[in-house]
Amino acid sequence: MINELIEQEKIRQNKAINLIASENYASEAVKTALSSSFTDKYAEGYPGKRYYAGNKIVDELESEVKSLAQKVFHTDYHVNVQAYSGSIANLAVYYALLQPGDTFMGLELSHGGHLTHGHPVTLTGHLYKRITYHVDNKTEMLDYDEIQQLAKEHKPKLIISGASAYSRTIDFERISKIAHEVGAYHLADISHISGLVATGLHPSPFGNADIITTTTHKILRGPRGALIFCQDALSTRIDKAIFPGLQGGPHMNTIAAIGVCLEEALQPNYKTYCQTVIENASALSEELKEAGLKIVANGTDNHLFMIDLRPLGIDGNTAQNKLEAAGIIVNKNTIPFDDASPQNPSGIRIGTPAITTRGMTPEDMPELAAKIATILKTP
Ligand code: DSN
Protein backbone atom coordinates (compact mmCIF):
# COMPACT_ATOMS: atom_id res chain seq x y z
CA MET A 1 0.00 0.00 0.00
CA ILE A 2 2.72 2.47 1.02
CA ASN A 3 4.74 1.70 -2.12
CA GLU A 4 1.68 2.37 -4.18
CA LEU A 5 1.18 5.76 -2.51
CA ILE A 6 4.86 6.61 -3.13
CA GLU A 7 4.33 5.84 -6.82
CA GLN A 8 1.11 7.88 -6.92
CA GLU A 9 2.83 10.91 -5.36
CA LYS A 10 5.67 10.65 -7.89
CA ILE A 11 3.14 10.67 -10.74
CA ARG A 12 1.21 13.58 -9.18
CA GLN A 13 4.41 15.62 -8.86
CA ASN A 14 5.40 14.85 -12.45
CA LYS A 15 2.06 15.98 -13.83
CA ALA A 16 1.58 19.12 -11.71
CA ILE A 17 2.75 22.62 -12.44
CA ASN A 18 4.12 23.28 -8.97
CA LEU A 19 4.08 26.96 -8.03
CA ILE A 20 4.47 26.49 -4.27
CA ALA A 21 7.25 28.92 -3.44
CA SER A 22 8.78 26.77 -0.71
CA GLU A 23 8.86 23.49 -2.62
CA ASN A 24 11.32 22.05 -5.11
CA TYR A 25 12.48 18.77 -6.60
CA ALA A 26 15.58 17.26 -4.98
CA SER A 27 18.00 15.44 -7.27
CA GLU A 28 18.26 11.66 -7.37
CA ALA A 29 21.68 12.04 -5.69
CA VAL A 30 20.05 13.85 -2.74
CA LYS A 31 17.40 11.13 -2.48
CA THR A 32 20.04 8.39 -2.63
CA ALA A 33 21.89 10.01 0.29
CA LEU A 34 18.62 10.18 2.25
CA SER A 35 18.11 6.44 1.91
CA SER A 36 21.79 5.60 2.61
CA SER A 37 23.21 3.59 5.53
CA PHE A 38 23.62 6.82 7.51
CA THR A 39 19.91 6.47 8.30
CA ASP A 40 20.79 3.64 10.71
CA LYS A 41 23.39 5.44 12.84
CA TYR A 42 23.00 7.13 16.21
CA ALA A 43 25.45 9.99 16.70
CA GLU A 44 24.40 12.21 19.63
CA GLY A 45 26.98 14.92 20.11
CA TYR A 46 29.27 16.64 17.64
CA PRO A 47 32.37 15.57 15.65
CA GLY A 48 35.01 14.22 18.06
CA LYS A 49 32.52 14.30 20.98
CA ARG A 50 29.96 11.54 20.47
CA TYR A 51 28.18 9.33 23.00
CA TYR A 52 28.25 6.15 20.87
CA ALA A 53 31.05 4.20 19.19
CA GLY A 54 31.26 3.69 15.45
CA ASN A 55 31.16 7.36 14.53
CA LYS A 56 34.49 7.96 12.78
CA ILE A 57 32.86 8.14 9.34
CA VAL A 58 29.94 10.14 10.71
CA ASP A 59 32.43 12.65 12.17
CA GLU A 60 34.11 13.00 8.79
CA LEU A 61 30.75 13.46 7.10
CA GLU A 62 29.50 16.14 9.50
CA SER A 63 32.78 18.07 9.36
CA GLU A 64 32.74 17.98 5.56
CA VAL A 65 29.11 19.17 5.37
CA LYS A 66 29.89 22.05 7.73
CA SER A 67 32.79 23.08 5.55
CA LEU A 68 30.62 22.83 2.40
CA ALA A 69 27.99 25.06 4.04
CA GLN A 70 30.64 27.69 4.78
CA LYS A 71 31.86 27.51 1.17
CA VAL A 72 28.39 27.85 -0.33
CA PHE A 73 27.64 30.95 1.76
CA HIS A 74 31.19 32.38 1.49
CA THR A 75 31.53 32.64 5.25
CA ASP A 76 33.65 31.61 8.18
CA TYR A 77 30.68 31.83 10.62
CA HIS A 78 30.32 28.77 12.83
CA VAL A 79 27.68 26.40 11.41
CA ASN A 80 25.45 23.77 12.97
CA VAL A 81 24.01 21.29 10.44
CA GLN A 82 21.94 19.15 12.81
CA ALA A 83 18.61 21.00 13.13
CA TYR A 84 15.78 18.73 12.02
CA SER A 85 13.90 21.62 10.43
CA GLY A 86 13.66 25.39 10.10
CA SER A 87 11.21 25.60 13.02
CA ILE A 88 13.65 23.85 15.35
CA ALA A 89 16.53 25.96 14.03
CA ASN A 90 14.68 29.17 14.92
CA LEU A 91 13.51 27.78 18.26
CA ALA A 92 17.11 26.81 19.08
CA VAL A 93 18.23 30.39 18.48
CA TYR A 94 15.57 31.80 20.81
CA TYR A 95 16.33 29.11 23.41
CA ALA A 96 20.05 29.91 23.21
CA LEU A 97 19.79 33.68 23.37
CA LEU A 98 16.57 34.63 25.16
CA GLN A 99 15.06 34.07 28.60
CA PRO A 100 11.31 33.40 28.97
CA GLY A 101 9.52 36.74 29.00
CA ASP A 102 12.16 38.49 26.89
CA THR A 103 10.97 40.67 24.03
CA PHE A 104 11.83 40.04 20.41
CA MET A 105 10.61 41.50 17.13
CA GLY A 106 9.47 39.77 13.95
CA LEU A 107 7.45 40.49 10.82
CA GLU A 108 3.65 40.13 11.23
CA LEU A 109 2.47 36.80 9.76
CA SER A 110 -0.10 38.37 7.44
CA HIS A 111 2.54 40.80 6.16
CA GLY A 112 4.81 37.95 5.08
CA GLY A 113 6.35 36.69 8.32
CA HIS A 114 6.49 33.09 9.50
CA LEU A 115 4.75 31.30 12.38
CA THR A 116 8.13 30.60 14.01
CA HIS A 117 8.87 34.32 14.10
CA GLY A 118 6.92 34.53 17.37
CA HIS A 119 3.28 33.97 16.42
CA PRO A 120 1.05 33.48 19.50
CA VAL A 121 -0.12 30.03 18.29
CA THR A 122 3.46 28.70 18.59
CA LEU A 123 5.59 27.89 21.64
CA THR A 124 7.64 31.02 20.92
CA GLY A 125 4.48 33.09 21.33
CA HIS A 126 3.96 31.55 24.79
CA LEU A 127 7.55 31.88 25.98
CA TYR A 128 8.47 35.33 24.75
CA LYS A 129 6.90 38.71 24.22
CA ARG A 130 6.70 39.34 20.50
CA ILE A 131 6.42 42.77 18.93
CA THR A 132 5.48 42.72 15.25
CA TYR A 133 6.66 45.03 12.51
CA HIS A 134 4.88 45.52 9.21
CA VAL A 135 5.02 46.51 5.58
CA ASP A 136 4.03 50.01 4.54
CA ASN A 137 0.35 50.18 3.64
CA LYS A 138 0.98 51.96 0.33
CA THR A 139 4.10 50.28 -1.06
CA GLU A 140 3.51 46.93 0.73
CA MET A 141 7.27 46.87 1.29
CA LEU A 142 9.08 46.62 4.65
CA ASP A 143 8.72 49.78 6.71
CA TYR A 144 12.26 50.18 8.06
CA ASP A 145 11.35 53.40 9.88
CA GLU A 146 8.73 51.50 11.83
CA ILE A 147 11.26 48.74 12.65
CA GLN A 148 13.63 51.39 13.99
CA GLN A 149 10.96 53.16 15.98
CA LEU A 150 9.64 49.91 17.51
CA ALA A 151 13.18 48.78 18.34
CA LYS A 152 13.88 52.04 20.17
CA GLU A 153 10.57 51.87 22.00
CA HIS A 154 10.59 48.19 23.05
CA LYS A 155 14.34 47.49 23.31
CA PRO A 156 14.01 43.86 22.11
CA LYS A 157 16.74 41.36 22.85
CA LEU A 158 16.51 39.99 19.30
CA ILE A 159 15.12 41.10 15.94
CA ILE A 160 14.33 38.44 13.39
CA SER A 161 14.31 39.36 9.71
CA GLY A 162 13.31 37.19 6.78
CA ALA A 163 9.95 36.10 5.49
CA SER A 164 7.81 33.40 3.97
CA ALA A 165 5.79 35.65 1.74
CA TYR A 166 7.70 38.81 0.88
CA SER A 167 8.62 39.49 -2.72
CA ARG A 168 11.05 42.39 -2.36
CA THR A 169 14.73 42.70 -1.43
CA ILE A 170 15.39 42.73 2.31
CA ASP A 171 17.91 45.27 3.58
CA PHE A 172 19.63 42.98 6.10
CA GLU A 173 22.39 45.50 6.71
CA ARG A 174 19.88 48.13 7.81
CA ILE A 175 18.11 45.68 10.14
CA SER A 176 21.45 44.66 11.68
CA LYS A 177 22.21 48.31 12.31
CA ILE A 178 18.81 48.91 13.92
CA ALA A 179 19.24 45.80 16.10
CA HIS A 180 22.75 46.60 17.20
CA GLU A 181 21.86 50.23 18.02
CA VAL A 182 19.49 48.93 20.71
CA GLY A 183 21.77 46.09 21.84
CA ALA A 184 19.68 43.36 20.16
CA TYR A 185 20.86 40.32 18.26
CA HIS A 186 19.90 40.14 14.59
CA LEU A 187 18.70 36.73 13.42
CA ALA A 188 18.24 36.58 9.63
CA ASP A 189 16.03 33.68 8.54
CA ILE A 190 16.97 33.27 4.87
CA SER A 191 15.09 30.00 4.32
CA HIS A 192 13.22 31.28 1.27
CA ILE A 193 16.07 33.08 -0.42
CA SER A 194 19.13 31.08 0.65
CA GLY A 195 20.11 30.12 -2.89
CA LEU A 196 19.82 33.74 -3.99
CA VAL A 197 22.03 34.84 -1.09
CA ALA A 198 24.57 32.08 -1.80
CA THR A 199 24.87 33.04 -5.46
CA GLY A 200 25.01 36.81 -4.88
CA LEU A 201 21.54 37.44 -6.34
CA HIS A 202 20.24 38.88 -3.06
CA PRO A 203 22.29 40.95 -0.57
CA SER A 204 23.79 38.69 2.06
CA PRO A 205 23.26 39.09 5.82
CA PHE A 206 26.62 37.41 6.52
CA GLY A 207 29.02 39.87 8.11
CA ASN A 208 26.18 41.88 9.69
CA ALA A 209 23.63 39.53 11.22
CA ASP A 210 24.67 37.64 14.36
CA ILE A 211 22.83 34.46 13.45
CA ILE A 212 21.51 33.16 10.14
CA THR A 213 19.12 30.24 9.76
CA THR A 214 17.97 28.53 6.59
CA THR A 215 16.06 25.46 5.62
CA THR A 216 17.71 23.25 3.03
CA HIS A 217 14.76 22.02 0.96
CA LYS A 218 13.46 25.18 -0.67
CA ILE A 219 15.49 26.94 -3.35
CA LEU A 220 18.57 25.00 -2.12
CA ARG A 221 16.92 21.80 -3.48
CA GLY A 222 18.13 19.58 -0.65
CA PRO A 223 16.40 17.35 1.90
CA ARG A 224 14.12 18.73 4.62
CA GLY A 225 16.54 20.09 7.20
CA ALA A 226 18.21 23.31 8.30
CA LEU A 227 21.48 25.12 8.90
CA ILE A 228 22.25 27.58 11.70
CA PHE A 229 25.17 29.95 11.17
CA CYS A 230 26.40 32.20 13.96
CA GLN A 231 29.26 34.40 15.04
CA ASP A 232 31.90 32.33 16.86
CA ALA A 233 31.08 33.89 20.24
CA LEU A 234 27.60 32.29 20.09
CA SER A 235 28.62 28.87 18.80
CA THR A 236 28.61 26.97 22.12
CA ARG A 237 25.20 28.31 23.08
CA ILE A 238 23.70 27.47 19.67
CA ASP A 239 25.19 23.97 19.57
CA LYS A 240 24.00 23.23 23.11
CA ALA A 241 20.51 24.51 22.29
CA ILE A 242 20.25 22.00 19.42
CA PHE A 243 21.85 19.09 21.31
CA PRO A 244 21.05 18.29 24.07
CA GLY A 245 18.64 21.26 24.42
CA LEU A 246 16.02 20.42 21.83
CA GLN A 247 17.07 17.38 19.87
CA GLY A 248 18.47 13.88 20.28
CA GLY A 249 20.50 12.03 17.68
CA PRO A 250 21.03 13.98 14.47
CA HIS A 251 19.58 12.50 11.29
CA MET A 252 22.88 11.65 9.64
CA ASN A 253 21.21 10.55 6.39
CA THR A 254 19.67 14.03 6.12
CA ILE A 255 23.04 15.61 6.87
CA ALA A 256 24.60 13.49 4.08
CA ALA A 257 21.84 14.67 1.72
CA ILE A 258 22.44 18.29 2.79
CA GLY A 259 26.08 17.72 1.83
CA VAL A 260 25.02 16.53 -1.61
CA CYS A 261 22.77 19.56 -2.21
CA LEU A 262 25.56 21.88 -1.07
CA GLU A 263 27.97 20.23 -3.52
CA GLU A 264 25.34 20.81 -6.21
CA ALA A 265 24.98 24.46 -5.16
CA LEU A 266 28.72 24.93 -5.70
CA GLN A 267 28.41 24.01 -9.39
CA PRO A 268 28.34 26.96 -11.81
CA ASN A 269 24.94 25.89 -13.19
CA TYR A 270 23.34 26.51 -9.77
CA LYS A 271 23.76 30.26 -10.18
CA THR A 272 22.20 30.02 -13.65
CA TYR A 273 19.30 28.12 -12.09
CA CYS A 274 18.79 30.81 -9.40
CA GLN A 275 18.97 33.56 -12.01
CA THR A 276 16.27 31.80 -14.07
CA VAL A 277 14.10 31.39 -10.94
CA ILE A 278 14.12 35.18 -10.52
CA GLU A 279 13.55 35.84 -14.24
CA ASN A 280 10.62 33.42 -14.27
CA ALA A 281 9.02 35.04 -11.21
CA SER A 282 9.48 38.48 -12.68
CA ALA A 283 8.12 37.49 -16.12
CA LEU A 284 5.13 35.67 -14.62
CA SER A 285 4.18 38.52 -12.29
CA GLU A 286 4.51 41.11 -15.10
CA GLU A 287 2.32 39.00 -17.42
CA LEU A 288 -0.29 38.61 -14.70
CA LYS A 289 -0.25 42.35 -14.09
CA GLU A 290 -0.85 42.94 -17.79
CA ALA A 291 -3.76 40.55 -17.56
CA GLY A 292 -5.22 42.90 -14.92
CA LEU A 293 -4.33 41.03 -11.72
CA LYS A 294 -3.16 42.86 -8.61
CA ILE A 295 0.30 41.79 -7.43
CA VAL A 296 1.25 42.57 -3.81
CA ALA A 297 4.11 45.11 -3.62
CA ASN A 298 3.56 45.58 -7.36
CA GLY A 299 5.96 42.81 -8.38
CA THR A 300 8.94 40.82 -7.25
CA ASP A 301 12.73 40.91 -6.85
CA ASN A 302 13.00 37.26 -5.86
CA HIS A 303 11.46 33.84 -6.43
CA LEU A 304 7.88 34.55 -5.38
CA PHE A 305 4.97 36.96 -5.35
CA MET A 306 1.41 37.16 -4.05
CA ILE A 307 -1.78 37.87 -5.97
CA ASP A 308 -4.32 40.03 -4.14
CA LEU A 309 -7.62 38.37 -5.05
CA ARG A 310 -9.91 41.01 -3.59
CA PRO A 311 -10.44 42.90 -6.87
CA LEU A 312 -11.52 39.60 -8.46
CA GLY A 313 -14.08 38.97 -5.72
CA ILE A 314 -12.80 35.46 -4.93
CA ASP A 315 -11.12 34.07 -1.85
CA GLY A 316 -7.88 32.13 -1.42
CA ASN A 317 -9.54 28.73 -1.05
CA THR A 318 -11.57 29.17 -4.22
CA ALA A 319 -8.53 30.29 -6.20
CA GLN A 320 -6.34 27.48 -4.87
CA ASN A 321 -9.00 24.85 -5.66
CA LYS A 322 -9.79 26.16 -9.14
CA LEU A 323 -6.10 26.19 -10.06
CA GLU A 324 -5.55 22.71 -8.61
CA ALA A 325 -8.40 21.39 -10.74
CA ALA A 326 -6.38 22.59 -13.74
CA GLY A 327 -3.15 20.97 -12.47
CA ILE A 328 -1.62 24.20 -11.14
CA ILE A 329 -0.58 23.92 -7.49
CA VAL A 330 -0.36 27.10 -5.38
CA ASN A 331 -1.10 27.96 -1.77
CA LYS A 332 -3.65 30.37 -0.38
CA ASN A 333 -1.89 33.12 1.55
CA THR A 334 -2.73 36.10 3.67
CA ILE A 335 -1.79 39.41 2.17
CA PRO A 336 -0.86 42.62 3.98
CA PHE A 337 -3.80 44.30 5.72
CA ASP A 338 -5.96 41.26 5.00
CA ASP A 339 -9.26 41.23 6.90
CA ALA A 340 -9.85 37.56 6.08
CA SER A 341 -8.60 34.65 8.19
CA PRO A 342 -5.49 32.55 7.40
CA GLN A 343 -7.89 29.60 6.80
CA ASN A 344 -9.43 31.46 3.90
CA PRO A 345 -7.28 34.48 3.15
CA SER A 346 -7.50 36.99 0.32
CA GLY A 347 -4.42 35.99 -1.60
CA ILE A 348 -2.43 33.22 -3.20
CA ARG A 349 1.36 32.85 -3.22
CA ILE A 350 3.18 31.88 -6.37
CA GLY A 351 6.82 30.82 -6.60
CA THR A 352 9.06 29.61 -9.40
CA PRO A 353 11.84 27.42 -7.85
CA ALA A 354 10.12 24.11 -8.70
CA ILE A 355 9.01 24.93 -12.26
CA THR A 356 12.51 26.24 -12.98
CA THR A 357 14.02 22.94 -11.82
CA ARG A 358 11.63 21.30 -14.26
CA GLY A 359 13.12 23.41 -17.07
CA MET A 360 10.61 26.24 -17.55
CA THR A 361 12.03 29.56 -18.75
CA PRO A 362 10.69 33.12 -19.14
CA GLU A 363 9.46 32.18 -22.64
CA ASP A 364 6.99 29.80 -20.99
CA MET A 365 5.56 32.45 -18.67
CA PRO A 366 3.08 34.22 -21.03
CA GLU A 367 1.19 30.96 -21.63
CA LEU A 368 1.23 30.04 -17.93
CA ALA A 369 0.08 33.54 -16.93
CA ALA A 370 -2.76 33.46 -19.47
CA LYS A 371 -3.92 30.12 -18.06
CA ILE A 372 -3.82 31.36 -14.46
CA ALA A 373 -5.55 34.65 -15.31
CA THR A 374 -8.33 32.91 -17.25
CA ILE A 375 -8.97 30.43 -14.45
CA LEU A 376 -9.06 33.14 -11.77
CA LYS A 377 -11.24 35.49 -13.78
CA THR A 378 -13.77 32.86 -14.92
CA PRO A 379 -16.69 32.78 -12.46
N1 DSN B 1 5.88 26.30 5.01
C2 DSN B 1 6.98 27.09 4.49
C3 DSN B 1 6.54 28.01 3.43
O4 DSN B 1 5.72 27.58 2.65
O5 DSN B 1 7.00 29.13 3.33
C6 DSN B 1 7.70 27.79 5.55
O7 DSN B 1 7.88 26.97 6.64
Q: Active-site residue among 116, 213, 214, 215?
A: 215
CATH superfamily membership of 16-25+268-377: Aspartate Aminotransferase, domain 1 (3.90.1150.10)
The pocket around ligand 1, CB under 6 angstroms, is made up of 22, 86, 114, 164
Tens digit of pLDDT for each residue in 122-163?
A: 998 889 999 999 999 999 999 999 999 999 999 999 999 999
For residue 133, what are the contacts with CB-CB under 8 A and spacing of at least 6?
105, 106, 107, 108, 142, 143, 146, 147, 150
pLDDT of residue 171: 98
Tens digit of pLDDT for each residue in 298-349?
A: 999 999 999 999 999 999 999 999 999 999 999 999 999 988 988 899 999 9
Q: Active-site residue among 50, 157, 168, 218?
A: 218
What's the CA-to-centroid distance between 164 and ligand 1, angstroms? 6
pLDDT of residue 379: 84
Q: Which CATH architecture has domain 28-265?
A: 3-Layer(aba) Sandwich (3.40)
The predicted model gives 52-80 an average pLDDT of: 98
By alpha-carbon position, which residue is closest to atom 5 of ligand 1? 164
The predicted model gives 251-265 an average pLDDT of: 98
pLDDT band at 31 (very low <50, low <70, confident <90, very high): very high
The ligand 1 atom nearest the CA atom of 86: 7
Angle at the Cα of 224 (from 222 to 230), degrees rounded to 5?
85
- Identical fold at 16-25+268-377 and 28-265? no
Tens digit of pLDDT for each residue in 72-126?
A: 999 999 999 999 999 999 999 999 999 999 999 999 999 999 998 988 899 988 8
pLDDT of residue 356: 98
Domain ranges of the chain: 16-25+268-377, 28-265
User: Whose CA is closest to 210, among 237, 241, 192, 232?
Assistant: 232
pLDDT of residue 118: 84
